[in-house]
Structure 1
Amino acid sequence: MICPACNHNNHPNARFCSHCGGELSAPVYVATRDMGSITKTVVFFVVMVVFIVSLYFIDINSNYANIILANIVFSLIVLVFFAMDFRDTLNVLKFKDPEPMLMTALATGAPVFALGVFFFVDYLNKNIFDIYIISEYYLFIDSPAPLLLALISTAVFPAIFEEIAFRGVLFNMLEPFAGKTPTIFITAIMFSTIHFSLISLLWLFPIGLLFGYLRARHNTLWYGIIGHFLYNSSVVLYGVLLA
């Protein structure tokens, strides 16, 4: 390791010059690492945006096969980024000693919150926007198992792969140089904006903050995955039972 101040040749792993005492590789390494993380973050977000925007040009809701295909493509994109950050993301997929109180809070809070959002959106659509939005269930009505496929597409796939994408891969990219709290906010912003629905920011951003906080505090994605699944599946079921 060559000292930039005095050109003394030091041990390759040295942090300080043995001749003049100057700091060696740490600043360069940190800057390089941070730039790499920033680049990966930008690439990740751009790929997600391009994928979501492309769905608007293929009429994804024209048949249930398109929806399933879109889910599969999204999952493959996430798995590619997962492979690039395999070890760190795999670590947060571990689930040791789940807290009963927290699990109970998720099991009760997610459906209740989903019910509030359901009635709020229903009111807006009927009284403000004067439109009628059909439940995800009816997008699969021509399929062999409408409710099952609606739950898999709307609850299972997003719960697993969106959490891996935003609270797993993206969180791991951002935290080393942004810090824990800013990363929670940034991932929540990206998670909510990627849905391309301005009004849904009212509930998606708080959900993103909560799941980001749980991931940071407990170092696992599973609380977010469980909460995400319960919320989305509740919305689907309310659309069938209460619409």
Structure 2
Amino acid sequence: MLPLDDDLPGKKPCIQCGTLIALDGKFCNQCGARQSAQNANAPVNSWGLLQQAGLFFGIDIIVCVLGQFVEALKTFSFFLFSDIVMAISAVLFFSLNWKENKSLLKWHNFSWQKLAAYCAIAMAAQVLVHYSVDWLNLVVYSKDEDYVQHLNGSFAGGLLVVFFTAIAPAIFEELGYRGYLLQTLLKIADKEQAVYITSFLFAIIHMSFLSLFWLIPFALFLGFVRIKENTLWYGVFFHFCFNLTACIFELL
């Protein structure tokens, strides 16, 4: 006889094999059975969602690979083009399910204290990353250093560096990865699985193997903040402050 859910805080039995899984688990970790009982009134086209998510990631990875490995495309013009393509892609895919995703743009239970705490953590984390891996020449975007370094030296150039390195990524990467992609994966995977997958894909697009050791924890933190707060805005400001701190190191 299977134990009752009330006797299993945070757990429930698989509807097929009885193995205990997370309450929000959509698949059994043991037998792989879909826990369709909890979604009987809301069928999900899992394969269609995966194809859509794959298309989103495919666009990002193609422009990143081209900019990283095609010598003729290692220019500021292509860097600008790739950023525009990825920004448009994030907005378009986020808008595909606007009725559901628009709630992520609301700032639920806004708190100045919480925002300040997230920003302080972001800046402290970037200081730690900068000084601990300076010998590996790691900053938030290694490619940005190549393409926008010549903008340094003037006030206008500094503003462009901040825009391309801090403002644009904080908005469009959060919109695409913690917005569209994470929200999509939550429909076909557990919360933890969705956050881990999203974080790994986010780290990959940065095209820096040596950066994975901090990019993945960075993305995991953003993913769980997005789940916990049910809004993109804390993550956007965390991302911005983290990248802005990197800009300050580069511009000083």
* TM-based fold match above 0.5: yes
Counterpart selection for 1:181 from 189, 192, 198:
192
Q: Distance in 1 between matches of 2:174 and 2:109?
A: 20
- Distance in 2, Cα, partners of 1:183 & 1:234: 28
Aligned partner of 2:229 in structure 1 is 218
Q: Secondary structure at the match of 1:95?
A: coil
What aligned pairs does 1:159-238 form with structure 2 within 5 A after superposition? 159-238=170-249
User: Which secondary structure does the structure 1 equivalent of 2:105 belong to?
Assistant: coil
Q: Which runs of 5+ in 1 are unaligned?
A: 1-25, 127-132
C-alpha separation in 2, matches of 1:148 and 1:99: 28
TM superposition shift of 1:125: 4.1
2-structure distance, mates of 1:220, 1:59: 40
Indicate the residue corresponding to 2:136 in structure 1. Answer: 124
Do the aligned partners of 2:56 and 2:89 also contact (CA within 8 Å) in 1? no
For the Cα contact (< 8 Å) 1:61–1:139, is it kept in 2? no
| 1:62 counterpart (60, 70, 75) | 75
- Superposition deviation, residue 143 in structure 1: 7.9
**Counterpart position of 1:73:** 85
2:159 to 148, 159, 175: 148
Cα distance, 1:239 vs. partner? Answer: 1.6
Which of these two proteins has the greater Rg computed from alpha carbons? 1
Alignment of 1:6-25 (within 5 A): none
Q: Aligned in 2, Cα 1:154/1:34: closer, same or farther, shift over 3 Å?
A: same
For normalisation by structure 1, the TM-score amounts to 0.76
Deviation at 1:62, TM superposition (A): 3.2
Letter in 1 for 2:183: N
Unaligned runs of 5+ in 2: 1-38, 139-143
Query: For the aligned residues, what is the CA RMSD?
Result: 2.7
Secondary structure of the structure 2 residue equivalent to 1:177: coil
Give the counterpart letter for 2:91 in structure 1.
L
Offset at residue 90 of structure 1 (A): 1.4
Change (3 A) 1:135 1:113: farther
Which whole-Å CA distance do the structure 1 matches of 2:244 and 2:147 have between them? 10
Deviation at 1:60, TM superposition (A): 5.3
Distance 1:59 1:108, change over 3 A: farther
- In structure 2, the residue matched to 1:10 is none
Once residues 70 and 143 of structure 1 are traced to their aligned partners in structure 2, the CA distance between those partners, rounded to angstroms, is 24
TM-superposed deviation, 1:28:
11
1:94 to 82, 88, 106: 106
**What do the CA deviations read for 1:37-68 (whole angstroms, capped 9, x no partner)?**
122122222222112112232655534x4433
CA shift for structure 1 position 186: 1.0
Match of 1:106 in 2: 118
The answer as to 2:63 corresponding to 1:51 is yes
SS at match of 2:50: helix
Q: Give the Cα separation in 2 of the matches to 1:88 and 1:53.
A: 32
CA distance in 1, matches of 2:109, 2:41: 40
Which stretch shifts more, 142-151 or 106-115? 142-151
* Inter-partner Cα distance in structure 1 for 2:155 and 2:125: 30
- What is the rounded CA distance, in whole Å, between the counterparts of 2:80 and 2:100 in structure 1? 29
